[in-house]
Amino acid sequence: MKTVSQFLAFTFLIFFSMLMNAQENLITNTHNRESISLNGTWNYIIDTYETGFYNYRWKEKNENDPEAYWNKPVVNNPSDRREHGYTDANTLQVPGDWNSQDNIFKYYEGTVWYQREFDAPNLEENQRTFLYFGAVNYEAHVYLNGKKLGMHKGGFTPFNFEIPQDLLQEKDNFLVVKVDNKRHPDEIPTVNTDWWNYGGITRDVKLLVMPENFIQQYAVQLEQDQDISSAKRKKKFNIEGSLKLNKEAHAEEITVEIPELKVKEKLIANGDQLDFNFTVKKLELWSTENPKLYEVIFNFKGEILNDKIGFRKIEVSGKDILLNGKKVFLRGICLHEEIPLEARRAKNIADAKKLFGWAQDLNANMVRLAHYPHNEYMTRMADSLGVMVWSEIPVYWTINFKSDSVYNKAEKQLKEMIIRDRNKASVIIWSVGNETPVSESRTNFMRKLVETTKSMDDSRLVSAALEVGYNRNKNYIDDPLGEFTDVISVNEYLGWYGDLPGSKAQSNWDLAYNKPLLISETGAGAKGGYQGKKEQRWTEDFQKWYYEETIKMMKRMPENYSGMMPWILSDFRSPRRNHPKFQDGWNRKGLIDNHGNKKKAFYVLKKYYEDKEQEFE
Ligand code: GCB
């Protein structure tokens, strides 16, 4: 018995440390590191039966099995039997979801093998190489020249694997990724979501060229304990930071420079972690009006790493949210990582420009990146445009809150999200989930996520989108999770799910917590171009009416009301939306339709945001 439990404990430990390692090994700020892009055309095999992975006894294939799809299908003799192969006739673009690239993939959920070859770069002595993936949805097994480099789960966060030096060939490295987007009850997200399960290598792939030891992760920010008003008065700001090296260093020098602030700190590293702090004068804080970013330069053993970092303080004071000591109102909008005009995942700078262009047209100063971490182009652009960001993990609806392993998967995605974006001033809220049903196990699960977030990062707020209790004339917000989050955020759909928008006129609100209140969602569906009476559901007029009533109702919200982020910027694909005339596979709550046309409600919200901007100037 003892040995069995010891064995289980040992297995758990190994499993757990594998999970932990994934984030500890994550290399951040890959935009500014030496790399070779592996984007472009890849070959593929659709493998519905997972023949390339399992043998006929459903066991993972032996590494050298010539019929394992990670191995090059070589034919040495005419008598050799090969039953798979990669061909230029079957190609997919990376990055990109597979669903939008060929009709055969439109509804596909399962395994696709991606393959391409690449030549090694000229490496200097001791240089190391890593394969970096911005995101693969959902499960990725990565193989190079027939050897497995690793596996990653989670469709919206980055990961990297080192290539052992003796594995990298000068020419024709055979790179294969098994991608599987099947939904499972015990994964994050689970089987049920209101968005399209786009599969594939959806974000950039790079070969990172790294020195023997390097700065792997870092955080540089305003010290959180200082009183921002007195810091502004005294023109003296404390900045704190931490660094994580890939390997232990022994009395080695690292410099941190911010030339514009005349900062040049010399640090001595012993071990693989290092904390530091210093004081600066004349700091321009990052804000929505002035999204000031400073060039920060790290130098470790002659290797330079640059970043652009904004410094700001976001905090809660009673019922208000303060940015740099000043009360802010979040003129937000929710969005999915999707370009509706092409019914595909967003993936690059041009896409980020399109989405932020729409949000700024609306006069929004904030975006809720729902319901999973979006690509890094989005948060980088938010930093430079001065748009505040809510970033979330896909703990969505009813997941298995009783399972430790499900918790570990959620926590791993949370850590990957934080590590990737912790230096982005624009990110002001980490969200640990959306509309999770109240129960003891759920609240414990979510509370642990909140605590983990706070232990990793004290420089932003933590929230989760909660649900509202509807009650005639008195709606209440008293989810027990609210005790643990910094701000109370609720999704509110009175007038769409239940009743008509007119019912908002009578509704009042009770809030159990004296914390800032955000409306993290509210919205109604409308088919773009469909006009009619306002009582006619699916018309633009119905949606407009809904927004008018919502805005009126907001005036009767408790004083804690600090912003809203209606659902949603544009129509998005969803397998749950099957009305043939009005939906046709699209969630129609967008303020912009899938052809890029603005619906009437867009202008109602825009006007409200213009008024709010003036009020808070
Ligand atoms: C919600 C969900 C969101 C859905 C939306 C809807 O509350 O958070 O993911 O898409 O409602 O349209 O019903």
Note whether 132 and 177 are within 8 A (CB): no
Ligand 1 atom nearest the C-alpha of 491 is 7
Q: Is 109 exposed, middle or buried (0-12, 13-18, 19+ CB in 10 A)?
A: middle
Q: Which of 337, 520, 582, 587 to mutate to test the pocket of ligand 1 (most atoms within 8 A of CB)?
A: 587
Distance CA(420)–CA(30), nearest Å, equals: 10
Q: Which of 491, 494, 518, 573 to mutate to test the pocket of ligand 1 (most atoms within 8 A of CB)?
A: 491
How high is the pLDDT of residue 314?
A: 98
Ligand 1 atom nearest the C-alpha of 589 is 12
User: What's the 394 CA to ligand 1 centre distance in angstroms?
Assistant: 13
User: What's the 336 CA to ligand 1 centre distance in angstroms?
Assistant: 11
> E strand or H helix at 572, and its extent?
strand 572-573
As given in the structure block, the two tokens for residue 584 are 């046709």
User: What's the 3 CA to ligand 1 centre distance in angstroms?
Assistant: 48
Which residues form the pocket of ligand 1, taking CB atoms under 6 Å from any ligand atom?
194, 371, 434-435, 491, 521, 567, 587, 589
Which residue has tokens 């899938």?
594
- Please tell me the total number of residues recorded for the chain in this structure: 617
CA 154 to chain centre: 10
- Tell me how far apart the terminal alpha carbons of the chain are, to the nearest angstrom: 69
Kindly calculate the radius of gyration of the chain based on its CA atoms and give it in whole angstroms.
25
Secondary structure letter of residue 31 according to DSSP: G
Q: Output the CA torsion 121→122→126→129 (10° steps).
A: 0
Distance CA(477)–CA(487), nearest Å, equals: 12
Q: Whose CA is nearest to atom 3 of ligand 1?
A: 194
Q: Output the CA torsion 270→276→280→286 (10° steps).
A: 120
Please state whether the peptide bond connecting residue 185 to the residue before it is cis, i.e. omega within 30 degrees of 0: no
60-82 pLDDT per residue, tens: 999 999 999 999 999 999 999 99
32-45 pLDDT per residue, tens: 999 999 999 999 99
Ligand 1 atom nearest the C-alpha of 370 is 9
Distance CA(346)–CA(375), nearest Å, equals: 8
Distance CA(221)–CA(226), nearest Å, equals: 12
Query: Phi and psi of 414, rounded to 5°?
Result: -60, -45
Ligand 1 atom nearest the C-alpha of 525 is 12
User: What's the 271 CA to ligand 1 centre distance in angstroms?
Assistant: 47
Which residue has tokens 């990376």?
94
217-266 pLDDT per residue, tens: 999 999 999 999 999 999 999 999 999 999 999 999 999 999 999 999 99
CB atoms within 10 A of CB 559: 12
> E strand or H helix at 443, and its extent?
helix 440-456
Distance CA(416)–CA(121), nearest Å, equals: 28
> Nearest-CA neighbor of 377 among 202, 183, 597?
202
Distance CA(410)–CA(196), nearest Å, equals: 20
As given in the structure block, the two tokens for residue 232 are 């502004």
Ligand 1 atom nearest the C-alpha of 587 is 12
How high is the pLDDT of residue 21?
A: 54
262-314 pLDDT per residue, tens: 999 999 999 999 999 999 999 999 999 999 999 999 999 999 999 999 999 99
At residue 472, does pLDDT exceed 80?
A: no
Q: Which amino acid is at 136?
A: V
As given in the structure block, the two tokens for residue 345 are 């995942």
User: What's the 350 CA to ligand 1 centre distance in angstroms?
Assistant: 26
User: Edge to edge, what strands does the sheet with 173-180 contain?
Assistant: 91-94, 40-46, 111-118, 173-180, 139-144, 147-153
User: What's the 232 CA to ligand 1 centre distance in angstroms?
Assistant: 41
Classify 540 as helix, strand or coil. Answer: helix
As given in the structure block, the two tokens for residue 78 are 């005419």
CA 110 to chain centre: 22
At residue 7, does pLDDT exceed 70?
A: no
CA 150 to chain centre: 22
Ligand 1 atom nearest the C-alpha of 497 is 13
Secondary structure letter of residue 285 according to DSSP: P
User: What's the 523 CA to ligand 1 centre distance in angstroms?
Assistant: 9
Distance CA(508)–CA(469), nearest Å, equals: 12
CA 76 to chain centre: 46
How high is the pLDDT of residue 110?
A: 98
CB atoms within 10 A of CB 318: 10
Residues 6+ apart with CB under 8 A from 506: 473
User: What's the 335 CA to ligand 1 centre distance in angstroms?
Assistant: 11
> Nearest-CA neighbor of 562 among 472, 495, 484, 463?
463
Note whether 246 and 127 are within 8 A (CB): no
At residue 13, does pLDDT exceed 60?
A: no
- Banded pLDDT at 506 (limits 50, 70, 90): confident
Q: Whose CA is nearest to atom 9 of ligand 1?
A: 194
Per the rule left: phi > 0, alpha: psi between -120 and 50, beta: everything else, 537 is beta
Note whether 484 and 461 are within 8 A (CB): no
Average pLDDT over residues 545-554: 97
Q: How far is CA 371 from CA 189, 193, 388, 467, 531, in A?
A: 9, 10, 16, 15, 30
451-466 pLDDT per residue, tens: 999 999 999 999 999 9
Distance CA(563)–CA(355), nearest Å, equals: 20
Domains belonging to the chain, first-starting first, are: 24-75+83-208 (2.60.120.260), 225-312 (2.60.40.10), 328-374+425-615 (3.20.20.80)
User: What's the 372 CA to ligand 1 centre distance in angstroms?
Assistant: 13
User: What's the 297 CA to ligand 1 centre distance in angstroms?
Assistant: 42
User: What's the 194 CA to ligand 1 centre distance in angstroms?
Assistant: 6
166-187 pLDDT per residue, tens: 999 999 999 999 999 999 999 9
Q: Which of 197, 567, 569, 578 to mutate to test the pocket of ligand 1 (most atoms within 8 A of CB)?
A: 567
CB atoms within 10 A of CB 570: 29
Residues 6+ apart with CB under 8 A from 477: 466, 468, 469, 488, 490, 509, 510, 511, 512, 513, 517
Lowest mean pLDDT among 6-15, 55-64, 315-324: 6-15
Query: Phi and psi of 236, rounded to 5°?
Result: -145, 110
> Nearest-CA neighbor of 301 among 235, 241, 367, 250?
250
Distance CA(376)–CA(157), nearest Å, equals: 10
Residues 6+ apart with CB under 8 A from 460: 314, 427, 428, 429, 430
Ligand 1 atom nearest the C-alpha of 521 is 7
